[in-house]
Structure 1
Amino acid sequence: MGEGFFEADGSNEMEAMGEDFINVLLRNSLLQIAERDVYGNVESCVMHDLLHDLATSILRGSFREDEITRVRYVFLKDDSSAVLKNNAKYLRTLLFKDKINGNMFSNFESLHVLTFGSREVEELSNEIKKLIHLRVLDIEQTSIEYLPDWIGELFHLQTLRACSYRLKQLPSTLKNLRNLRHLYIEENVELSAEIGLLTSLRTLKIFRVGDKNGYKIEELGSLNCLKGKLQIDNLEMVRNKEEAEKANLSNKPKLLELYLGWKIGRQGETTNDENVLEGLQPHSRLKNLVISGFGGRSFPSWTRNMEVDDVGQGSRLPLTKLVKITLSDCSECEEIPMFGQLLNLKCLRLYKLRNVKSINSSFYGSVNDETRTVFPVLEELVLKTLPKLTVLKGIESVGASAVSVFPHLQHLTIEDCGVLTRFPTHFWSSLKCLNIFRNRSYKPLADIFQAKLTLLTELWIDVIDDVESLPDWLFYSNPNLSKFTIEQCSNLREIPAGLGTLNSLKELRITDCPNLKRIGDLGVNNHKKVSDPLQLCRSVHARLCCIFHVK
């Protein structure tokens, strides 16, 4: 795209055309997929070995610098003035790993892509503003702190990569780059005012709401081409629902990941948070939702029921595309929304919800003859720092025993839920990884163990004060257990038999259990009991084994 090889037409964007070309190369095995994102989209590719060898053989040879002519693409690790001088008017792409003589840029009249790859670069040469065809500017590997005002004169610039930890602020003239499609910056960089004028933007990772004109949330209203991820911070600056609606999030169908953040630890009135969140309804195609610092006692209707308005149709649409949901630091929230009916939800994380006392059956949604499975594809559930949570209820409707709940749940973490004493007993048979940290009571773990787990590969128990023993069947029923950790359980008295049968065990850690008196039969050496913990380490089939402070 940066080279200008294709342009958007009425039906296709440049990015979509580029993806089509990539897919052609993939289908013909000229490229191979190296990495996908969590949604299955291709993130990076590598060249096929045979194609790489062919290119290498063609390029192999030695040349004098003055013999290299009509070069369009140059990657230089050090200054090679002869190559640059002889090819200045032909160059389309220049990737430079060292400092470069700034006076040379005026000769690169056809340059489309310019990348700096040296921390020694601390400022941009004024000559760069003469590169009227420049489409891509990459300063990520530089030490530049401030971009010059003349950046706003690069009217054809489409991509600005500035994810540099040194960069502090963008210039006010950025608003003049009406063709800018992708802006990459770090979270600490201060955006310039009137970002809403950049209506071609597809990539804007973060927007901080301000209280001055040009920095308010309404700047997002005109950016309906945004795609991928958007993080909106400082939502406490938004006064009401009407102001929040000016962000026009429901009209951004290509936005897949949305982070809505209020300042954590705010003092004073937070009652308008509910109205603001009501006005921030996303499009129904959203796949990842994070809500952080929300100060309302209850979530608004679209969040509570996971349904949003169908724009222009007067109806409601469920957020069925959601794959991941995170609620964090919602300190006044008293109730968890209805998540059980989300057909594609794979990960649910609840952090620091300090006012939630119970998770009720509404959490699962309505159950009827048509809905016999809730949380149908959920793979990971995390409950962390819910200090008032006493109970996670099961389904209470008629015929609940016939309902399948969490049929694909593999990872469960319960941490810092100090008063949790009641947990469903029959949902957990698919678990592979179970982590219970700092929960005082053994009751939730005992409830989970009633499911008689058989697929565990990782088990971590930490700071459970009243646990005295573990189920006798634990090791015999989970032959694929590879990691077993139990720490700071002051009343633990025995480990059940069967450790020696775990041929898959790679890591064993038992620490700070001062009352541990017995480690059960190993299942090896004719089932002879081993009283010495170090002997246990030598007997268990484990490549890494640590036991400390067990006596």
Structure 2
Amino acid sequence: MVMYVAVRVHDMVLDLIRYLSYKENFVTISNDDEGTSPHQNRVRRLAHQNRTMKQTQQDDHMDMAQVRTLVACDCDIQSWVLHPSFKLMRVLHLEGCRPPRRDWHGLKNLGILLHLRYLGLQNSSKAPWKFTYYELPKEIGKLKFLQILDLEASSIRVLPSSVCQLTQLVCLRGCRDTCAPDGSFLRTVISLEYLRIRIDNLDEESQRQIIKDVSNQSEIRVLCMTNESEIPKEFGGLRNLRTLYGFRVHMDMDGGWCSLEEIGPLSKLWRLTLHGLENVSASSFAETARISSKEHPEYLKLQWSRSGCMELRDEIQKQQQQVAEEVLEKLCPPPHIHHLNIKGYFGRTLPNWMMVVEAFSFTSLIILKLKDLPCCTKLPDSLCPLPSLKLLVIKDAPAIKSVGSEFQASTSAAFPNLTHLTLEGLCEWEEWDWEEQTVDVTAGTMAMHALGYLLIENCKLSCFPPGLANNKRHALRELGLRDLNNLTSVENFPSVVELDVFDCPKLKRISGLSRLHKIRIARCPKLEVLQGVPSLDSLLLHDTTMETLPGYLACVNPRFLRLTCSKELHDSIISGSSSECEKINHITKHDIDYN
């Protein structure tokens, strides 16, 4: 696992570092067409950022033969070609750069970089263009000393077959779509510690060969099969494995594919994802995985297929639901798990280790996500005492109709460190029993007292319980309310700074948000009252069906209003002659558009 550590230094030390870096030409940084180094003739480390890279006269004057490192971030490289003098380069990293979609020859000289140890071709969310398309030339096979090939988000679909010649490769990280070239490309690569690749483009025999070769990599720590393909046998011998993503459970009785039993000996696993758990026919198979005995657990994802649930019918449904319940009971995580993700589980009840407070002893659990639970009728009762839980997501649980007081327990011990809560897709949820606590309770001792972000989406709640909406709750800053068809009012959230209210057709009143700074309202046609918001700075209103501006705009005084409305209303306001203008004339800045 890669860890990044930030270090603070004294200003005088920082000045010294900068001075020596400049004097010794530690790195040449270019943010435009001119470099910043005083020693352009002896460049060692070259960095480009946010510029158009191309072969220039300046490059020809620099001694490119001495360059050891080239890093380019968010650059246009459509006319750039790797300099033929870079023969001593050790590191080449292109991140968020923009090559042409086709016929790019920027790396045509890659084969001359015989000393290269690291090659990184990555995308970047910060780049001004949305996608980056790189290509790997077949000459990559000449890089005999290459140790790290990082293609994260590179859009490279298939590796060239010459990758098999990279015998010193330690890390091969493809993007989620990067496929293996053939079944034998790892046969001579014997030092791998990190492998992320797809193999579902290959036939069954080739897949088996790859897994057999992987099994011979005694030092491999991270294995990511991003396609969630079925893994052949010869896998349980990877005793040093720390991370395994994309393990798809297969119960083929002919013994040709890897089963949960082979997970059992992998006691050093830190991160594990299991997919296709609907294929497990008995809890005894789940028990062989020995999930609870892993030594250093950090992340566990347990996933059932949605199709496995959709195909259930009547008695078959009851039988398979019972099997799913028994299987999840046996897949109890280790006590020190940090992140647990359960998805697609179609049992009717959650396991005892989630429902019984005495049995739920995961004191290190920080993140819990429960998604796609079509048959569960009750939220887990044992979560509230968890001392480390910070993020809880419950999504797409349509069978839940009410949330009882036992969920949050209404005590000072309930969710003491929970900061983020998402309740989404509980589409039949109508009631939340959470009474306001006694007058002696302070903001620091109430249930969920640390809650800073709350999102509630797609349910039938008509109002919020007094235990949630009260003036003693001081930590809640962001509140998101979406697709709440029965909600009529939002009141008594004095600490909320940002509020999103989308698609609440019966909402009539918003008040008592004394610190509200920014509000976004979309498609809430019956909203009549917006008051008790003295700190409001920004109001974004989106409704393309409204014929007139809502009256509450005249009662608030934000600095900025962004309005998206119908073309007719837009034209009426822009003309300046409409009476609608009077409702917003007092607002300093407007941005009015139509859709």
TM-score (norm 2): 0.67
Aligned to 2:551: 518
* 1:158 and 2:203 aligned: no
Shift in CA distance, 138/318, structure 1 to aligned 2, threshold 3 Å: closer
Partner of 1:273, secondary structure, is helix
Letter matched to residue 63 of structure 2 = S
* 1:432 and 2:416 aligned: no
More displaced, 75-84 or 203-212?
A: 75-84
Distance 1:440 1:298 in 2: 28
Cα displacement (A) at 1:305? 3.1
Aligned to 1:128: 165
Shift in CA distance, 198/27, structure 1 to aligned 2, threshold 3 Å: farther
Cα displacement (A) at 1:541? 4.7
Distance 2:112 2:553 in 1: 74
Aligned to 2:139: 101
* 1:481 and 2:517 aligned: yes
Letter matched to residue 437 of structure 1 = R
2:530·2:556 contact (CA, 8 Å) conserved in 1?
A: no
2:155·2:175 contact (CA, 8 Å) conserved in 1?
A: no
**Could you tell me which of 386, 401, 406 is aligned with 1:357?**
401
Letter matched to residue 329 of structure 1 = D
Cα displacement (A) at 1:399? 9.2
Distance 2:371 2:176 in 1: 33
Partner of 1:236, secondary structure, is helix
**Could you tell me which of 43, 52, 74 is aligned with 1:59?**
43
Distance 2:423 2:176 in 1: 39
Partner of 2:484, secondary structure, is coil
Partner of 1:276, secondary structure, is helix
Distance 1:319 1:379 in 2: 18
Aligned to 1:4: none
* 1:187 and 2:227 aligned: yes
1:231·1:258 contact (CA, 8 Å) conserved in 2?
A: yes
Shift in CA distance, 223/519, structure 1 to aligned 2, threshold 3 Å: same
1:179·1:200 contact (CA, 8 Å) conserved in 2?
A: yes
Shift in CA distance, 414/541, structure 1 to aligned 2, threshold 3 Å: farther
Distance 2:193 2:136 in 1: 24
**Could you tell me which of 341, 360, 372 is aligned with 1:329?**
372
1:150-194 alpha-carbon deviations (Å, 9 max, x no partner) = 514433322224379988984243323232222234235554433
1:244·1:276 contact (CA, 8 Å) conserved in 2?
A: yes
1:317-337 alpha-carbon deviations (Å, 9 max, x no partner) = 721222222222211111111
Shift in CA distance, 410/190, structure 1 to aligned 2, threshold 3 Å: same
Aligned to 2:387: 343
Cα displacement (A) at 1:284? 1.7
Distance 1:462 1:496 in 2: 15
**Could you tell me which of 476, 488, 504 is aligned with 2:537?**
504
Shift in CA distance, 397/236, structure 1 to aligned 2, threshold 3 Å: farther
Aligned to 1:78: 107
* 1:540 and 2:578 aligned: no
Cα displacement (A) at 1:118? 9.1
Cα displacement (A) at 1:404? 0.8
Aligned to 1:455: 495
**Could you tell me which of 237, 241, 245 is aligned with 1:197?**
237
CA RMSD of the aligned region, Å?
4.2
Aligned to 2:568: none
1:488·1:512 contact (CA, 8 Å) conserved in 2?
A: no
Distance 1:340 1:112 in 2: 47
2:401·2:428 contact (CA, 8 Å) conserved in 1?
A: yes
What is the identity percentage for the equivalent residue pairs of Structure 1 and Structure 2?
23
Cα displacement (A) at 1:78? 3.1
Shift in CA distance, 237/306, structure 1 to aligned 2, threshold 3 Å: farther
1:267-318 alpha-carbon deviations (Å, 9 max, x no partner) = 133211111111111112212222122122211111113666xxxxxxxx72
**Structure 1 gap ranges (5+):** 1-14, 30-46, 309-316
Partner of 1:416, secondary structure, is strand
1:498·1:520 contact (CA, 8 Å) conserved in 2?
A: no
2:272·2:300 contact (CA, 8 Å) conserved in 1?
A: yes
Distance 2:118 2:556 in 1: 66
1:461-494 alpha-carbon deviations (Å, 9 max, x no partner) = 33434333433x45xx23x4212314243x43x2
TM-score (norm 1): 0.72
Distance 1:120 1:422 in 2: 50
1:435-478 alpha-carbon deviations (Å, 9 max, x no partner) = 222333235x45xx2xx22222222333434333433x45xx23
Aligned to 1:211: 251
Cα displacement (A) at 1:390? 2.3
Matches within 5 A, 1:6-405: 26=7, 51=21, 54-56=26-28, 59-60=43-44, 61-62=62-63, 71=88, 73=90, 75=92, 78-80=107-109, 83-84=112-113, 88=114, 98-101=136-139, 104=142, 108=144, 112-113=147-148, 119=156, 122-125=159-162, 128=165, 131=167, 133-140=168-175, 144-162=179-197, 170=207, 171-173=210-212, 174-188=214-228, 191-212=231-252, 213=255, 214-227=257-270, 229-264=271-306, 265-266=309-310, 267=312, 268=317, 269-305=320-356, 318-338=361-381, 339-365=383-409, 367=411, 372-394=412-434, 404-405=446-447
Letter matched to residue 193 of structure 2 = Q
Between the two structures, name the one with larger relative contact order (CA 8 Å, sep ≥ 6): 1
2:435·2:467 contact (CA, 8 Å) conserved in 1?
A: no
Shift in CA distance, 330/143, structure 1 to aligned 2, threshold 3 Å: closer
Shift in CA distance, 257/93, structure 1 to aligned 2, threshold 3 Å: closer
Distance 1:397 1:142 in 2: 52
Cα displacement (A) at 1:139? 4.9
Cα displacement (A) at 1:386? 1.8
Cα displacement (A) at 1:210? 0.8
More displaced, 334-343 or 142-151?
A: 142-151
1:100-155 alpha-carbon deviations (Å, 9 max, x no partner) = 437746xx3x55445678949753228617x3x44334554996454332514433
Aligned to 1:44: none
**Structure 2 gap ranges (5+):** 11-16, 29-38, 45-61, 67-83, 94-105, 122-134, 559-575
